[in-house]
Amino acid sequence: MSFSSDSKRFDFLSWPIAAEAASQKGSTLVWPFGACEQHGPHLPLITDTFFAENVLKDVFSEINDEFPIWMLPSQFIGFSPEHQSFPGTLSLSANTLLQLVTEVGCQIAKMGFKRLVLFNAHGGQIGLLQAIARELRIKCPSMSVLPCFLWSGVSSLEEIISEKEVEEGLHAAEAETSLMMHYFPEIVGNERPSDSVFENKLQNSEFVTPEGWSLEGAAPCAWLTKDLSESGVIGDSRLSNSELGLKLKKALVEHWIKLFTSLMKSSWPPTN
């Protein structure tokens, strides 16, 4: 059975085709997760959702059309309490997101789909979606659940952006601004903030990060954006440009083409 690009959207299927899709060996649904949250004065609230959805569309346009894999409608509002001091941010509670994903996931498993990939582009809900995936797997042992983060594991990122931005550019900084400048420059504002408040705090001995600790990493802290930035940017967006955005897009798309191709050629992960 061959599917056109449009029919790779789950919501474009008719019910008989959806039933046939679910019955195929290795049938997989990918659910893009983003957020509706502040991304500085220059990027739109939809930034994370936009990236999850559009990188995934680019990946789907390149992978084997015969693979039994489809994209669910994006989840536009996520878990964003760290940004709630900035107007425009909408956030679900952890429990609400747990209930939402569990209810939808159980319906997907009941249809007969073998895998559900949670394709997330919002860093603030990585851990929560991992916990939700485990809960869903317990309720639906016949379906594999794979919680993924758009930017994780892309080794070539360190060759494209500076080491400082890899470590400190956590939000609306050089990488995200450049990627949006490539994809949709019309909605990128003219301001290019740097988190001067955070930098000033680092120069104050009271705020020097102790050895081995970091905002994110092996020993992180539960930071709030207002602790670090007046603009909402965590990092430095001043060197952002569309050429860099193109390089980032290619790196992300190539990475996920490789991962989805290897996944769809396998029977992994095991279920009972």
Residue 250 has pLDDT above 80, yes or no: yes
State residue 162's pLDDT score: 87
Average pLDDT, the chain: 93
Residue 262 has pLDDT above 80, yes or no: yes
Proportion of the chain above pLDDT 70, given as a percent: 93
State residue 204's pLDDT score: 65
- Give dist(CA 266, CA 268) in Å, integer: 5
pLDDT in tens, 211-227: 888 888 889 999 999 98
Q: Give the 3-state secondary structure of residue 133.
A: helix
Q: Would you give the distance in Å from CA 138 to the centre of its chain?
A: 23
DSSP 58-91: HHHTTS-TTS-EEEPPPB-----GGGTTSTT-B-
Residue 4 has pLDDT above 50, yes or no: no
